[in-house]
Amino acid sequence: MTALSSALLPSPLLAVTGLEQSFGGVMALAGVSFQVAEGLIYAVIGPNGAGKTTLFNALCGFYQPSAGSIRFADQELLGLPPHRIAARGIARTFQNLQLFFNMTVVENVMVGCHLRARTHLLAAALRLPWVQRQEQQLREWAIAALELCELADRAGQPAGSLPYGLMKRVEIARALAAKPRLLLLDEPAAGLNDTETMALRDLIGRIRANGVTVLLVEHHMPLVMGVSDRLLVLDYGSVLAEGAPADIQADPRVVAAYLGGAVNYAV
């Protein structure tokens, strides 16, 4: 890229270069590089065990990759612990539900607002007046996130009492409550029925309309092809292809390695 064009182009929100992560002998990420521009819905697809979840875990500081770099909003993330990375504006959901089952729905989402307000321990124990006002504010923020996810009527229920599909949506609400710049969704459609998947598609659209960049790992091809602006295909920890949905669907390597033609039923 010439100096001129790089000066004109806005720098990407997320730039991953040469990321490597191995577990014993398994190279789960073998030098992965890609860039995500702000405001996009960027999908990461690939067969089981391709390294998608590992990529997410590395991005959010749960793993310590052995090589590479992760630049987010022009700052290096590598080496930061998860809570510091969250503070930079990254939130996520989990492939295996990680709800706080010991809390109600709204309390779960209020934990999502954790970084948007600071309560001092002593002030909380004494419940000073400003702590009460702050609680009210946190609750309002949480309810707003629940409304965006069409869950406001469930606010007071124990998180564990919801049907599976709604629990997954509570995770999205909780992540959104953090007001992230980048939202990582790990297989949000897994285990959902068709109606719920359609609702999820609408929800992802609303999230984008709110100005949040989305990184989406998903096996449900109609959803992926319908909603994403760009795709990254991983296979055995390496990038197999990267591009617009139409190009990916037409890429013979992708079809051969992963999709086995399945990509063609995209909507």
Partner 1 sequence: MRLAGFYLFALGVALLPILFPDNYFVIVVGASAGLHVILAVGLNLLMGYAGQISLGHAAFFGMGAYASAILTTRFGWPSLLALAAGLLATGALAWLFARPILRLRGHYLAMATLGFGVIVHVILVQATQWTGGPDGLSGIPALNLLGWRVDGDEQWYGVIMAAMLLVVWLTLNLVDSQVGRALRAVHGSEFAAQMMGVDTGRAKTQVFVISALFAAFAGSLFAHQQAFVSPDSFNLTVSVELVTMVVLGGLASTFGAVCGAIALTLLQQGLVVFEDYEMLIHGALLMAVMIFMPQGLFVGLSQAARRVRHRLKRRQPLPST
- Interacting residue ranges for partner 1, rule: CB under 8 A: 60-62, 81-83, 86-87, 91-92, 94, 98-103, 107, 110-112, 114-115, 117, 119, 121, 124-127, 131, 134-135, 138, 174-175, 178
CA distance linking residue 62 with residue 56, whole number of Å: 9
Stretch that binds Mg ion, among 27-35, 88-96, 201-209, 229-237 (CB under 5 A): 88-96
Min. distance of Cβ 157 from partner 1 in angstroms? 13
How many residues sit in the footprint of Mg ion (CB under 5 A)? 3
Nearer to Mg ion, 50 or 113 (CB): 50
CA distance linking residue 189 with residue 216, whole number of Å: 10
Instruction: Name the binder of 100 from ligand ATP, partner 1, Mg ion, none, CB < 5-8 A by kind.
Output: partner 1
Min. distance of Cβ 157 from Mg ion in angstroms? 28
Min. distance of Cβ 23 from partner 1 in angstroms? 17
C-alpha dihedral sign at 84, 89, 94, 99: positive
C-alpha dihedral sign at 92, 96, 99, 105: positive
CA angle 220, 226, 229 (to 5 degrees): 110
CB 231 within 8 A of CB 224: yes
Instruction: Name the binder of 46 from ligand ATP, Mg ion, partner 1, none, CB < 5-8 A by kind.
Output: ligand ATP
In sequence order, the 6+-apart residues with CB closer than 8 A to the CB of 243 are 230, 231, 251
Min. distance of Cβ 231 from partner 1 in angstroms? 24
C-alpha dihedral sign at 196, 198, 202, 208: positive
Q: Which amino acid is at 10?
A: P
Nearer to partner 1, 92 or 220 (CB): 92
Nearer to partner 1, 130 or 265 (CB): 130
